Structure 1
Amino acid sequence: MTNRLLYYQVPKYEQSFTFPKKYDYCVAVFVINEGEKLHKQLQRMQKSNLCVDIVIADGGSTDGSTNTQTLKSLGVNTLLVKKEDGKLGSQMRIAFSWAMENGYKGVIAIDGNNKDSVENINDFVEKLELGYDHIQGSRFIPGGKAINTPTSRILGLKLLHVPMMRLASGFKYTDTTNGFRAYSKELLVANDMAVFRNVFTSYEFHYYLAIEAAKQGYMCLEIPVTRTYPKGKVPTKISPIKGNLGVIKILFETCMGKHSL
């Protein structure tokens, strides 16, 4: 792959286990210390007759949730463990690189916190087969559902995130904070996207992919999905003040073209 791409910078990682490839597409599940939420999600995925290989991209869990025997028993094809600094963007580059090197035609991305409608994974595959390159899951189009979503999240999305992403991309996205998405091989290996760069370590990677895919003329689409928050206190790894300010800063920088070629 390094001979074909202008940029090929992938964080160090360990392939803890893998089984032979069964399908043309894989779903990359991004986790770090998700506990039983991950196991419940994988149980749901087992029952959904999915036509994808399941790949866990672990950011360095220490809670035992990524025990290899447990994951194997839950139908996981491959476990990749990040071995250097970086957050979600680094995990994504690891999973995308591994998928391309192993001959997959596309990757579905999903969090491992049991909030998303895993039953929709095959819908993403269908759209990839039709030639779409960037497929965004949305709770806010017909057929989509936002269950127990905190009001603060809705306001931030509607008043700030969506308008900025629409302006930057020229595409009428409706759910730009939703990490349930899919990407074609053609998009991931394209030099005009240059996705394998060390600048992508956090949430800027999601934003960049959505913006640049539309700007560069790749086939983009939204499809309906459901995201369900548990009742009560919102579980999140983003601190309320410093973390949220950091996310807003990343959003502004990415929308202003900081990471564009």
Structure 2
Amino acid sequence: MDYFTIEEDKTSGYTGYVDGSYKWGLPGVICPLCKATWGGGGYMYPSVDLTPVLALADFETARAEPIEEYERLREMVRPLMPPGAVLGPGTELGPFVGWGRGRFGSFVTPVPWMLMVQREPLEKLQAEGLRGLKGCRPVLRFRQRSAPELLELEILPAGDLHPDCLPPSPPPCARCGRDGVSLPDERLLDTTTVPEHLDLFRLENHPGFIVCTGRFVDACQRLGLDGITFQALPTRASRNPPRR
């Protein structure tokens, strides 16, 4: 199987722009061991409805909290998450709320780690049998009469980079798990970690990095879908596959 990264097509001529934030989220953490204050980075679950949670106000303001408070809130929402979800500090939850304007292609990338698609192209891709394409309705106001029906794709974390492409680094913090490893310029996908049930996913430990299969690329090109480009992602198999 071939794999690709997804990027905004800056030559398409579309003027579409979307801005906003998620309705809810987990706080970032203040770690007593490594002394880092951190959170965010790409874990986003727009399908999650937190209205059954009693202390809903605890999830409405972006902030950092002592790690014990983050862990308490994380366990409150865990039963509501989709299978395979990773709940890192700063995880964003619920619908994306904001506004949009301009002329949109089939896909739009408000930020590099987020992917929206118009309804008709999504339905065409689902009809092709592509796996793991779940569209979630954002809450968007459009500053124009003719507004597109955009859906956010809920992209689950799965797979990761091959150790050979990562720079030397100290082990992750034993308390909060922060490793501080940035994405290398030359990337290798570890084929022993990739999912067999998804044609679109984000890397588990680098969730800002979206990957798709060759099946996804072929379907988009055959259907004439636009707004994004694809770059081939080299792969390599680990000698010692991780346990999952």
Shared fold (TM-score, shorter chain, > 0.5): no
TM-score by length of 2: 0.26
Q: Larger C-alpha radius of gyration, 1 or 2?
A: 2
Higher relative contact order (CA 8 A, sep 6+): 2
TM-score by length of 1: 0.25
Structure (1 or 2) with the greater helix fraction: 1
Structure (1 or 2) with the greater strand fraction: 2
